[in-house]
Structure 1
Amino acid sequence: MATAVTVALLASSGGAGALAASGPRPSGPDGGLARFEQQKITWHRCQADAQDEIGAHLDAAGARCAEVTVPLDHSRPDGPTVKVAISRLQATDPGRRRGALLINPGGPGDPGRVYAPLLKAAEPTLAARYDLIGMDPRFTGRSTPVNCQWPIGDYVRSTGHDRRGFGRIAAQAEDLAARCAGQRELLPHASARATARDMDVIRAALGESKLSYLGGSYGTYLGAVYMQLFPARVDRFVLDSALDPAAAGPGYARSMGPYLAAALKEWAGWAARHHGRYRLGSTTARVLATVNRVDRAAARTPLRIGRHRVDTHVFPAILLLSLGRDSEQAYAALAADLKILNDAARGAEITSAPSLEEGLAYLSSPETGGAGSARMAITCADGPASRDAGAYYRDIRAHRADEPLFGPLTRAMNLPCAFWPASPAEPPTRIRNDVPALIVGASGDPKTPYPGQRAMRRALSGSRMVTVRGAFRHLVSRVFTATPDACVDDAVGRYLLDGVLPAEDTTCPGAPTR
């Protein structure tokens, strides 16, 4: 999402820590959370072992790390506990320090400790005024990780073109869910509500009366939940590429299809202008016809890319992972990958394609550290899911004509929730408040579609919104993207540093990709 180094570091993150069978009895006259909020944080170096690249990166940046103890179930503070791993870079201008700023990159389930130095590098003026706090949300990274030992890296699969393909993917989803049965004690408590409460324990343990926050993608929903649960403890919150608050949970991806198709069409126009290099088609329509031809070829016979196979279940997932970045570099990378896939569809033997193989390895290799397990655990805990797998197929079939490529992917992206071995511990949070916040995003975002961003703006009636018009990117603020927008970053800096929101919702002109 943010940079190549971020992706490499996150991909290598391991998991450590374990569920405490029980904690000491609560202190104070009424027990409760006092012992958690008053705990002493012990800071230490971040690297845990020679394979811990994120820890090494944090140490090199001068960060310190710690583990904060929180209840597994915040309604039972005298019950089992878990550890939440955090990092901190102290404000470089302590005389002008104004508080702690916690960063969450979304996912759901992306570890966040590494984002403290990433934000410092991207926005040194913020690092001067704030202690920057990175957090691996519960059950991710080094925060008592859920790891179901999945045989694939993540569940991002299309159900394909017919009922038979749906049956294969449904069986895979059922198998993945069954592998998480051993984590049944943790799974009900993986929701944004639980993580937001963890954030408030961290705030209190840091000795802060209020918390500032920068959240991207799913992190916007987490931030909004915190705002709803703890409005008096909100300082300055920035939400980048907001998720529709009513869509959080197993259905969050259902609306993506038309917006992914629009982003693909925008890219196809770029590829047509570069037909001389990539030979994908000299018009937008011809490039899209090439994409459809590759999809049909993959449905007939999986395409061989080095040691990997690309079938009709994987091909749309490759597009999903690539779309949401509209820079020249990102468009060129997708065009290069499509050229290779098009050659394979025509029968060429592709012995090596490093950039494409990296994404394929992410999808098909056994998960490490439990990243895919954690993502699904959070999704399934955030809201109720239909237990009727056939309902997913009927939904796909009803939209097959208008969403032929992406509907079978996005409308079944969280199919394991239909078979999940645990139910959410509590219902989702209804977001409706007037706490001030700054929301930023792009009008053509294919992963948190703009109507959902507007829904978050309406739910947070005290907020203001800055929109990059005509941009087809997911995430727009400097720490999260390789394509920063000065207009957005000015608004973010003005709010976090000076507390000044725009007087009204505003727009920024998106720079066209040539």
Structure 2
Amino acid sequence: MNTAPRTTNPRTALLAVAATLALAAGVTGCAKATVPADTAAYTTTLKGLDRYYQQRLDWGPCKDPELTKTGTRCAKVVVPLDYTAPKGPTLSLTVSRMKATGSERERRGIIQTNPGGPGGHGLGMPAQLRAKMTPRVAAAYDVIGMDTRGLGESSPLDCGLDGMSWFRGVGFDRASFDRVAKKSVDDARKCGEKYGDRLAHYSTRNIARDVDVIRGALGERKTSWFGQSYGTYLGAVYANMFPGKVDRLVLDSAMNPSDYGLKMFQAMGPANEKALDDVARWAAPRDAEYHLGKTPAAVRATVEGLVRRAAQRPIEIGGDRLDHESLPLILYVLGTDDVDNAEYTRTLRLLVDAAAGRSVEPSERLAGLLGAMFRTDETGTARDYASTLAVLCADSTVPGNAEWYRKAIEKARPKQPVFGPFHNAPMPCGWWRTKPSESPTKISSDLPVLQIQATGDTRTTYEQGLGMHKAMRGSKLVTVPARTHAVFTGYSNACADKAVNDYLLTGKLPSEDYTCGT
């Protein structure tokens, strides 16, 4: 789940959670695909697709005036809902572009992007990427963004949900678990009742086909790709489906494609407990300022006690009420970056005071997160969450037995007291109306790839990234010793910045994997 830098848009930061952590593909396995193994050939030779590949894009001001101010322009692209029925219903996707700054001689082509998710809004991604490009790289590439099908300005889905059902802790008693499980079942039912069999067509494989239609509509023989978080999986799927269409490929903060799904979400639990320990070690020497505990163990005890207190009486702050089901999401978001240790600690102090009945004013970031969690109609969070679920559930099958999740939670809880109940919560895909229409793409490629991975990533863990590195055999891995996610666009590291810019400019990968200095 990552999109914009964490400090710019609290709603986007929360959706990055709803997206990056929620990846899906096969806990129990999918039905075998009925299409030829060479999906690239299959897609491009189907009768009726020419009109999509040859459509003209009319560029104009973006709907968001802030995007237009950056020099970004937007256009509509029409794609089939179902690529096996190109004469059937269509979807209108919105794409964005920042043109190369150089001359035609300096221009290399396009680089398409995805900020993370599924569910991360992508129209602003060109401006984010351009901000980190050197002048010579900016001169070489038109940077292309998109809201993927069903999201934002691309024929958005709206299941009428009133919040997030999956990204919740399940508390300490059976009643809390049953309440969360019921909400997951209800969310699946609402989406199924509104959209029916259409939901089967929002898969990553179809999004990859959309990416290729956009390439064709732009008149480009090949496309480069920059994806972060879920965008690394989408990029890897595209590269395996359309290997002849790939120029340069950058994967920032990747997951293990064979674990993409519930297994990967579960793997985040230990990583986030470790992040909490890191914050506790930072806060303990500063007890005179924050009063959370003089030792790391004492700080952790304060946090665990805060969650237990929220189970007894919700924490009232900023006009909202944080209980033991919603509080872990706040802790999860704030633990993403090591540069946020002070903000995380200040927020804990606010929450402890609020739990004690004191009147406190939430910080700007906390207020934004609370709004995204509790005022979903106003912020659009629930609509974006529906699009996230649509992709995840079109990609995978997961257990549809509530008891399976309860047992997983209780198994994780002893070593993951804060995040075990959060990262093993019942997933709506278990009760989804439609099953995946295709098997997940097997990620296996010798294409050259630059991969950037942080050692302390709490969303796509370093171990998960090693799985992608193994599957993409032509990749070179640049390791960043930090706790962060989406390194290039969201973290300051000159070594990683240079690696990405050098590769995009020259096309030359490092001769071997290496680790950036601290």
Normalising by the residue count of structure 2, what TM-score does the alignment of the two structures yield?
0.89
Change (3 A) 1:10 1:451: closer
Moved more, 394-403 or 131-140: 394-403
Equivalent residue number for residue 394 of structure 2: 381
Equivalent residue number for residue 424 of structure 2: 411
Residues 261-340 of structure 1: pairs in structure 2 closer than 5 A: 261-327=273-339, 330-340=340-350
Q: Deviations over 1:260-294 (max 9, x none)?
A: 01111111111123222211112211111111111
Equivalent residue number for residue 503 of structure 2: 495
Q: Deviations over 1:56-93 (max 9, x none)?
A: 12211222211111111112222211111101111110
Equivalent residue number for residue 393 of structure 1: 406
Moved more, 80-89 or 2-11: 2-11
Change (3 A) 1:354 1:116: closer
Whole-angstrom CA distance in 2 between matches of 1:435 and 1:399: 38
Q: 2:138 aligns with which of 127, 130, 136?
A: 127
Whole-angstrom CA distance in 1 between matches of 2:46 and 2:498: 46
Report the RMSD for the aligned CA atoms in angstroms.
2.1
Change (3 A) 1:203 1:351: closer
Q: Which runs of 5+ in 2 are unaligned?
A: 16-43
Q: 1:36 aligns with which of 52, 75, 86?
A: 52
Q: 1:102 aligns with which of 109, 112, 119?
A: 112
Whole-angstrom CA distance in 1 between matches of 2:181 and 2:291: 36
Q: Deviations over 1:11-68 (max 9, x none)?
A: 899xxxxxxxxxxxxxx99624211111111112212xxxxxxx21221122221111
% identical aligned pairs: 41
User: Is 1:257 the equivalent of 2:298?
Assistant: no
Shift of 1:5: 6.8
Q: 1:372 aligns with which of 385, 390, 395?
A: 385
Change (3 A) 1:10 1:473: closer
Shift of 1:250: 4.2
Whole-angstrom CA distance in 2 between matches of 1:376 and 1:286: 38
**1:274 alignment partner, SS class:** helix
Equivalent residue number for residue 69 of structure 1: 78
> What letter matches 1:157 in structure 2?
R
Equivalent residue number for residue 51 of structure 1: none
Change (3 A) 1:497 1:29: closer
**1:109 alignment partner, SS class:** coil
Shift of 1:154: 6.8
Q: Deviations over 1:380-431 (max 9, x none)?
A: 112111121211111111222122211110111x611122222222121111
Equivalent residue number for residue 66 of structure 2: 57
Change (3 A) 1:256 1:12: closer
Shift of 1:509: 2.6
Moved more, 86-95 or 148-157: 148-157
Whole-angstrom CA distance in 2 between matches of 1:364 and 1:29: 47
Shift of 1:353: 5.0
Equivalent residue number for residue 210 of structure 1: 222
Change (3 A) 1:223 1:57: same
**2:250 alignment partner, SS class:** strand
Change (3 A) 1:453 1:326: same
User: Is 1:241 the equivalent of 2:250?
Assistant: no
Give the conservation status (yes or no) of the 8 Å contact 1:442–1:450. yes
Equivalent residue number for residue 21 of structure 1: none
Shift of 1:344: 2.3
Give the conservation status (yes or no) of the 8 Å contact 2:134–2:501. no
Moved more, 344-353 or 440-449: 344-353
Give the conservation status (yes or no) of the 8 Å contact 1:272–1:287. yes
Equivalent residue number for residue 7 of structure 1: 9
Shift of 1:352: 5.1
Give the conservation status (yes or no) of the 8 Å contact 1:250–1:380. no
Equivalent residue number for residue 32 of structure 2: none
Whole-angstrom CA distance in 2 between matches of 1:178 and 1:251: 24
Moved more, 178-187 or 255-264: 178-187
User: Is 1:82 the equivalent of 2:91?
Assistant: yes
> What letter matches 1:391 in structure 2?
W
> What letter matches 1:237 in structure 2?
L
Shift of 1:4: 5.5
Whole-angstrom CA distance in 1 between matches of 2:183 and 2:343: 30
Shift of 1:336: 1.1
**1:184 alignment partner, SS class:** helix
Q: Deviations over 1:240-277 (max 9, x none)?
A: 11011012234431111111011111111111232222
Equivalent residue number for residue 441 of structure 1: 453
> What letter matches 1:261 in structure 2?
E
Equivalent residue number for residue 146 of structure 1: 157
Equivalent residue number for residue 17 of structure 1: none
User: Is 1:402 the equivalent of 2:415?
Assistant: yes
Equivalent residue number for residue 342 of structure 1: 352
Change (3 A) 1:446 1:382: same
Equivalent residue number for residue 25 of structure 1: none
> What letter matches 2:275 in structure 1?
A
Higher relative contact order (CA 8 A, sep 6+): 2
Whole-angstrom CA distance in 1 between matches of 2:371 and 2:123: 24
Give the conservation status (yes or no) of the 8 Å contact 1:250–1:417. no
Q: Deviations over 1:168-210 (max 9, x none)?
A: 1011112222221202243111111110110001001111111
Change (3 A) 1:217 1:154: farther
> How many residue pairs were aligned?
482
Whole-angstrom CA distance in 2 between matches of 1:406 and 1:11: 18
Give the conservation status (yes or no) of the 8 Å contact 1:305–1:353. no
Give the conservation status (yes or no) of the 8 Å contact 1:250–1:384. no
Q: Deviations over 1:427-468 (max 9, x none)?
A: 211111111111101111111111110000000001110011
Whole-angstrom CA distance in 2 between matches of 1:351 and 1:175: 34
Moved more, 131-140 or 375-384: 375-384
Moved more, 218-227 or 153-162: 153-162
> What letter matches 2:246 in structure 1?
V
Whole-angstrom CA distance in 2 between matches of 1:488 and 1:352: 34
Shift of 1:3: 2.7
Q: Deviations over 1:142-181 (max 9, x none)?
A: 0011111211267420111232211010111122222212
Change (3 A) 1:360 1:467: same
Give the conservation status (yes or no) of the 8 Å contact 2:165–2:184. no
Shift of 1:127: 2.1
Give the conservation status (yes or no) of the 8 Å contact 1:45–1:64. yes
**2:306 alignment partner, SS class:** helix
Whole-angstrom CA distance in 2 between matches of 1:398 and 1:435: 40
Whole-angstrom CA distance in 2 between matches of 1:284 and 1:164: 32
> What letter matches 2:358 in structure 1?
A
Equivalent residue number for residue 480 of structure 2: 468
Whole-angstrom CA distance in 2 between matches of 1:197 and 1:431: 16
Whole-angstrom CA distance in 2 between matches of 1:45 and 1:245: 37
